[in-house]
């Protein structure tokens, strides 16, 4: 009897293991199937509809909460990558199945001007095919109108408006708040214009920062007016007048913002969504099932053309394109940052791949950790020793640490509106002896060296530690100048004259010799191919990014799914979610500032960071 039950137990246990394995295989199959999807079939005579969702970015940030809220509101993934947009438009230009390009801006929240310029360039190139580009929005903001201005036809809802708010740079300052908390922020920096630390030691903008900030926001606005005016066949002065007089003109028009925009020739006509559909139907073809026009979405179109591209092209010569977007941080990282270890490994892999004939590094970064920047810099120098060219393309931002990693390049390209420079170093260390005093907590003791107890949060920073840290910062600045001097073929003093932490636009950086050319990512890639003596059409682009394991991909998707389930289970309606997301966005600068402070408030770390994003 005992043997019988023993055999029975073993049999049941074996069955349990088999069923467990089968269940895991089923789950795995569902996950793989959900992640891969099928390739859709493209219709003929279709309109390619590009509806940018959220912010247009170089790389997805992967914030689970933002993505879940966006999906709960029916807005998809909450952000759109620039490469997806430009790849689709470029493919559609010569695709006989695509008759029209439709741009719907109602779900777009914004982007930096260089990013918008890349988008606009793709549209202008598409128009050379003779196909029409139609733009539509309920209302246009500064950023969406920059792109829409390059379309053949621009339609605005009769109840909408075109609001071009210009550029600004306002920051929160925390000195008084920190004083109330009894916190002293000890700052060590080099550079008269290195203003990254000012929010912690001032209650307002310094004269130096005000001067530099006013200069670059004026430059951005001038560049904007020139680009949009050219696209619309208007003088920049007329566009400036529209913005400057919008309030009294709208008042005189009794609040009819749509008519004001039409009278100013900013839009082709005022049309409802249904009227726009009929116009697009006339340019492409009618879909009898939906009683609208035949269309294909950005996502579906990319899945088709990228699959077709993989089948048709297999050249041995490749140009590696690495995208570095976000703050530069030590170690590995997730979305939205340039992780020093990950980026260095990508460059190393490209160096060891003999089929890679040139390297293009696209930088969109305000900088960050000097240690991580140096690690990336060293790998770029190792690649350069192989006699293969390195070309940098700057996006919205390539400042401070972002410029540090650009310095070794054979050529640097930027947009006229790129924010760059900010060559400077800082470190900070908070102490809170006054807080301990307020709590009635004393501190006393003994030490063995001049540095003993000088870097404690409950004591003022000591003179020996202060001198030591400032000396390290000054050395870091000299190292930064040396890196730039070697990379740009300048003397130390020539670099110092345009450094000091000062921010420049790409247009000014070109004049000062900090960049070589003004242009797009495509132009930077063409420059790299030319240096590598590659013939157009005989090489392919190899976009590389840090590899995520299956477990990492699964975890990221699970976070988004989990956040979405929690939101839906709470029964909160989309309007409330939109309000909550808006509040979170409004307080985003404070949230990010606190996160940065936590990262930077370490005694043995140096930072090359620029808080220079215009809004």
Residue 118 pLDDT exceeds 80? yes
Condensed to tens digits (0 to 9), the pLDDT of residues 44-60 reads 999 999 999 989 999 88
CB of 484 within 8 A of CB of 407?
yes
Where residue 560 falls among pLDDT bands split at 50, 70, 90?
low
Structure token digits, residue 285: 């073809």
Residue 34 pLDDT exceeds 50? no
Condensed to tens digits (0 to 9), the pLDDT of residues 222-245 reads 999 999 999 999 999 999 999 999
Provide φ and ψ at 109, rounded to 5°: -105, -25
pLDDT for the residue numbered 383 = 98
DSSP characters for 419-436?
A: EEE---EEEEEEE-HHHH
Cα–Cα distances in angstroms (integers) from residue 353 to residues 350, 356, 546, in the given order: 5, 6, 16
DSSP characters for 16-48?
A: HHHHHHHHHHHHHHHHHHHHH-PPPPPPSSEEE
Q: Which segments of 73-203 does DSSP mark as H helices, in order?
A: 82-93, 113-127, 142-148, 175-181, 198-201
Please state whether beta strands 292-293 and 286-287 pair in parallel, antiparallel, or not at all (unpaired).
Answer: antiparallel
CB of 452 within 8 A of CB of 538?
no
Cα–Cα distances in angstroms (integers) from residue 154 to residues 104, 187, 239, 365, 460, in the given order: 10, 51, 16, 33, 61
* Active-site pick, 194, 271, 375, 510: 194
Note if 400 is an active site residue: yes
pLDDT for the residue numbered 197 = 83
Give residues with Cβ within 8 angstroms of 610, minimum separation 6: 196, 366, 367, 397, 399, 400, 402, 419, 422, 503
Greater model confidence, 48 or 436: 48
Q: Domains in the chain, start-ordered, CATH in brackets?
A: 46-162+267-305 (3.90.226.10), 314-436+451-549 (3.90.226.10)
Q: What is the DSSP letter of 140?
A: B
Residue 601 pLDDT exceeds 70? no
Q: Which helix (H) or strand (E) holds 250?
A: helix 246-252
Which of 120, 140, 148, 114 is CA-nearest to residue 219?
A: 114
Condensed to tens digits (0 to 9), the pLDDT of residues 355-374 reads 999 999 999 999 999 999 99
* Active-site pick, 213, 219, 369, 400: 400
Which position has the token pair 């360039």? 121
Residue 8 pLDDT exceeds 90? no
Which position has the token pair 């708010």? 165
Note if 533 is an active site residue: no
pLDDT for the residue numbered 332 = 82
Q: Report the range out of 129-138, 301-310, 431-440 with the highest average pLDDT.
A: 129-138
Greater model confidence, 14 or 199: 199
What average pLDDT does this structure show over 294-312? 88
* Beta partners for residue 544, in sequence order: 322
| Cα 342 from chain centroid (whole Å) | 17
Residue 188 pLDDT exceeds 90? no
What average pLDDT does this structure show over 188-193? 78
State the chain's mean pLDDT as an integer: 85
Residue 116 and residue 228: Cα distance in Å, rounded? 11
């Amino acid at each position: 009897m005992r043997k019988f039950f023993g055999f029975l137990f073993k049999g049941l246990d074996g069955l349990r293991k088999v069923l467990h394995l089968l269940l895991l295989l089923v789950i795995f199959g569902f996950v793989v199937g959900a992640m891969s999807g099928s390739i859709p079939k493209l219709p003929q005579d279709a309109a390619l509809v590009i509806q940018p969702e959220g912010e247009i970015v170089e790389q997805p940030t992967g914030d689970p909460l933002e993505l879940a809220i966006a999906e709960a509101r029916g807005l998809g993934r909450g952000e759109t990558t620039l490469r997806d947009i430009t790849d689709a438009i470029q493919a559609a230009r010569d695709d006989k199945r695509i008759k029209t390009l439709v741009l719907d801006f109602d779900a777009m929240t914004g982007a930096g001007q260089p990013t918008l310029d890349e988008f606009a360039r793709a549209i202008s190139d598409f128009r050379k095919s003779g196909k029409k580009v139609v733009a539509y929005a309920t209302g246009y903001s500064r950023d969406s109108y920059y792109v829409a201005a390059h379309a053949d036809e621009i339609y605005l809802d009769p109840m909408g408006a075109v609001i071009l708010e210009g550029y600004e740079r306002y920051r929160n300052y925390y000195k008084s708040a920190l004083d109330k908390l009894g916190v002293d922020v000890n700052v060590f920096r080099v550079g008269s214009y290195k203003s990254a630390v000012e929010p912690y030691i001032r209650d307002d903008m310094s004269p130096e920062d005000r001067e530099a900030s006013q200069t670059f926001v004026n430059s951005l606005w001038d560049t904007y007016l020139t680009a949009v005016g050219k696209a619309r066949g208007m003088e920049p002065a007329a566009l400036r007048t529209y913005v400057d007089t919008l309030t009294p003109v709208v008042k005189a028009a009794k609040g009819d913002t749509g008519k004001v925009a039409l009278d100013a020739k900013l839009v082709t006509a005022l049309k409802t969504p249904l009227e726009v559909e009929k116009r697009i139907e006339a340019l492409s073809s009618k879909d009898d099932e939906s009683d609208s026009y035949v269309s294909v979405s950005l996502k579906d179109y990319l899945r088709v053309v990228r699959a077709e591209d993989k089948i048709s092209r297999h050249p041995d010569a490749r140009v590696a394109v690495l995208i570095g977007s976000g703050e530069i941080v030590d170690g590995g990282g997730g979305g939205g940052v340039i992780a020093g270890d990950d980026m260095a490994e990508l460059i190393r892999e490209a160096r060891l791949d003999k089929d890679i004939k040139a390297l293009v590094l696209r930088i969109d970064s305000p900088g960050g950790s000097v240690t991580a920047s140096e690690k990336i810099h060293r790998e770029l120098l190792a690649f350069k020793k192989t006699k293969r060219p390195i070309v940098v393309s700057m996006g919205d931002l390539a400042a401070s640490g972002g410029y540090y990693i650009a310095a070794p390049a054979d050529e640097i390209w930027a947009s006229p509106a790129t924010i760059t420079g900010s060559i400077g170093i800082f470190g900070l260390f908070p102490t809170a002896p006054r807080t301990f005093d307020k709590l009635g907590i004393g501190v006393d003791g003994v030490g063995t060296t001049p540095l003993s107890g000088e870097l404690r949060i409950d004591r003022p920073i000591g003179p020996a530690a202060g001198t030591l840290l400032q000396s390290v910062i000054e050395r870091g600045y000299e190292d930064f100048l040396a890196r730039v001097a070697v990379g740009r073929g300048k003397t130390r003093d020539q670099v110092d004259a345009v450094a000091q932490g000062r921010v420049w636009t790409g247009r000014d950086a070109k004049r000062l010799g900090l960049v070589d050319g003004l242009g797009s990512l495509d132009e930077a890639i063409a420059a790299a191919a030319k240096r590598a003596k590659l013939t157009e059409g005989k090489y392919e682009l190899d976009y590389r990014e840090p590899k995520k394991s299956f477990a990492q991909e699964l975890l990221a998707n699970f976070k988004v799914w989990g956040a979405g389930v929690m939101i839906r289970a709470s029964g909160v309606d989309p309007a409330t979610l939109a309000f909550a997301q808006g509040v979170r966005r409004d307080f985003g600068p404070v949230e990010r500032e606190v996160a940065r402070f936590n990262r930077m408030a370490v005694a043995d770390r140096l930072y090359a960071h620029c808080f220079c994003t215009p809004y």
